[in-house]
Amino acid sequence: MTHYLKSLNKGNLCVVLEGGYNLDSIAKSALRVAKVLLGEPPEELKDMTPKSETIEVIDDVIKIQSRYWKSLKPGYYGRDFNLTSIMGEPENLAKSATGPTFEEMALAHERVNDSVRTHQKKTLFDNNNFVALPIVSEKRDEASLQNEILCTKDIYDADRIIIIIHDPSRIWSRRDPVTGDLDTSQSVVVDQSQRFIDWAQKEHFGIIDVNIPLTITGENELNYNNITSSQDALLYLWDNYIQYFKVSKIAFVGVGDAYNGVVHLCGHRDVRTLVKASINFLDKPTALRAVVSTIDESVTDWFYRNSLVFTSHKHPCWGDIEKNGSNQKRPRKKYGRVIRADVENLDSVIDERFEEACDFILDSVEDYETESESE
């Protein structure tokens, strides 16, 4: 930029250093500007891929500035679910809207996550011989929760059960930068839970699939919390179904925020007789959760021995990777056996660690069977 500016006003240029937040970056940029002012050619720009944090910050800045610049506004005026405090109060946004708000559109139409789950239900019913597990609870009477828990038909008599509790499937899509519309012809649903279901059926496990929506359709949307919902779902499942089943060995697979339900259950019910393994996959947005037992202190050691928690490479639990280097901190035992993947994003973590997770489940179940036979 300094090189281009020198061509203006006969090269008369004044450079002012106003300040900054990163001393290393300021030092490097000031040196390069000074060199160009002295007549040296500018250094060749490196072809760099932006960090994920940079992309997220730019997206947040656009959302903030869209309140003041019409050119940055999306195709609708509505509440942004990730930045409600930044975007402003929902009531004020609704008053300033010139068209329908997001809430009005959501009430008039089905949410994508509801449609995707309905399709998953049909696929599991047709291809995997699943049925719906009835839920009789006022807490779970919303439309978005109607297909929340599905299972194989033989679940009551199954000796080995895998319980998969996960966030909704992710949608990879191209988005119109002006209207915000998704191009459905360039959109795909990425459902990693199906991979575990197919594997579990080959290994002759009974399967329970629990889908925890991030938001729900209806008037209770503002009171809904997906982490609390995951906890309630597994407590309900345990108290009303699992303890009456014939199962002797259970393995959990938790994906995303929904994994909080697994940790909560292990701390609030004595599941140690039945649960032989807990496998969990976390990306950066999902914080580690410690098992807090209302039973006895030995639950922490049990949870550590019987769990694997795979995190993305740059998950905050490892501290500042660039600053600490190899001297990274290690999460404490109360979080389970935390393992750092070599990749980013949830789907890549599952791809990298899928076989390791499956082997851990089989080893845990087989060790229990061997001990039972020796007794």
Q: Which residues have CB under 8 Å from 125's CB, separation 6+?
A: 131
Q: pLDDT of 281-320, one tens digit each?
A: 999 889 999 999 888 889 999 999 999 999 999 899 988 7
Does 74 share its domain with 105?
yes
Does 13 share its domain with 99?
no
Does 245 share its domain with 256?
yes
In this prediction, residue 237 carries a pLDDT of: 95
Strands (E), the chain: 130-132, 149-152, 160-166, 170-175, 182-190, 206-211, 249-255, 275-282, 307-311, 338-340
Does 37 share its domain with 136?
no
Total domains in the chain come to 3
* Helices and strands (H and E) in the chain: how many: 13, 10
Last residue of a domain, one of 46, 62, 78: 46
Burial (CB count <10 Å: 0-12, 13-18, 19+), residue 111: buried
- CA gap 110, 114 in Å, rounded: 7
- In terms of Cα–Cα distance, which of 285, 274, 236, 277 is closest to 253? 277
3-class DSSP state for residue 115?
Answer: helix
Last residue of a domain, one of 66, 85, 109: 109
Q: Which residues have CB under 8 Å from 111's CB, separation 6+?
A: 144, 215, 217
Give me the sign of the Cα torsion angle 136, 116, 119, 358.
Answer: negative
Strand 249-255, strand 182-190: pairing = unpaired
- CA gap 354, 215 in Å, rounded: 28
- CA gap 127, 116 in Å, rounded: 16
- CA gap 247, 64 in Å, rounded: 52
Q: What is the CA radius of gyration of the chain?
A: 26
Q: How far is CA 297 from CA 99, 268, 294, in A?
A: 56, 12, 8
Does 96 share its domain with 193?
no
Does 315 share its domain with 198?
yes
Give me the sign of the Cα torsion angle 29, 33, 34, 40.
Answer: positive
- CA gap 136, 130 in Å, rounded: 19
In this prediction, residue 38 carries a pLDDT of: 87
In this prediction, residue 51 carries a pLDDT of: 75
Other residues' Cβ atoms within 10 Å of the Cβ of residue 75? 11
Does 172 share its domain with 201?
yes
Q: pLDDT of 21-60, one tens digit each?
A: 778 888 888 898 888 888 888 887 776 777 777 887 887 7
- In terms of Cα–Cα distance, which of 151, 145, 187 is closest to 170? 187
DSSP tag of 211:
E
Q: Could you tell me the residue range of the domain that residue 69 belongs to? A: 53-109
- CA gap 253, 191 in Å, rounded: 14
In this prediction, residue 372 carries a pLDDT of: 53
Last residue of a domain, one of 75, 92, 109: 109
CATH number at residue 237: 3.40.50
Does 77 share its domain with 147?
no
- CA gap 217, 143 in Å, rounded: 7
Does 170 share its domain with 273?
yes
- In terms of Cα–Cα distance, which of 332, 334, 343 is closest to 302? 334
Structure tokens, 59: 């997206």
Does 366 share its domain with 349?
yes
Starting at the edge strand found earlier in the chain, the sheet holding 160-166 runs 130-132, 149-152, 206-211, 160-166, 249-255, 275-282, 307-311, 338-340
DSSP tag of 142:
S
**CB distance 308 to 319 below 8 Å:** no
Averaged pLDDT, groups of 10, the chain, 375 residues long = 81 80 83 88 76 79 74 53 50 56 62 86 93 82 80 95 94 74 82 93 96 83 88 95 94 96 95 95 92 89 95 88 64 93 92 96 80 53
Residue where the block lists tokens 């807490």: 139
Does 100 share its domain with 122?
no
Structure tokens, 305: 């021995």
Does 217 share its domain with 321?
yes
Structure tokens, 16: 């002012």
DSSP tag of 192:
T
